[in-house]
Structure 1
Amino acid sequence: MNHTKDDWISQRAYSLWEAEGRPEGRGGGHWAQAASEFERLERTRASVDGSELVAKLRAAARTMRAAQDSSPAPDASPVTKTSVRKLGAGG
């Protein structure tokens, strides 16, 4: 069943009202809370086929590769007794 934004908010507000014991005069507060929840859901909703998530993951991977490519290469010099003594670990 396809619900509109107002349908979803109305049903959620009613649900909140019932959960609180059907208090008098709280309809506006329940409606505002439901509308806020709907907006949060809309902001975090993924596309039906996941294409938005795939695009974000690919962009993140490109950024990580670029950062790795621009970082200096680790020192590949071998560890020797002399280098260990310089560090104060041997004798």
Structure 2
Amino acid sequence: MSDVARQPGSAQRSWQWQSRAACRDLGSGRFFHPAGERGDDREERDAAAKRVCAGCPVRSACLAHALHTREPFGVWGGLTEEERRALLEGREPALSGRGRR
């Protein structure tokens, strides 16, 4: 019989915060840009995503997850991939989008 005492705990606990996320029923299109999206279209989509994040009760958990896993795409915890990359590199992120707070 296998010794399960050394196995990690339930993955559910690690992801429980997502059940309370403001974006949970909105679909990914608002948070991840389609191929080739640039300029005003991308800034407007990012700003719309950031407005959702601004009122989210689990924003900090979402951002912590994205930074920890180094999420390469999308708006997570109110920051774009470029803004998260700047934080990880120890630079001040240049906040983009019209939804700044």
TM-score range, shorter chain: under 0.3
- TM-score of the two chains, using structure 1 as the length reference: 0.24
> Is the radius of gyration larger for structure 1 or structure 2?
1
Which structure: greater helix fraction? 1
Using the size of structure 2 for normalisation, the TM-score is 0.22
The higher relative CO (CA closer than 8 Å, separation ≥ 6) is in 2
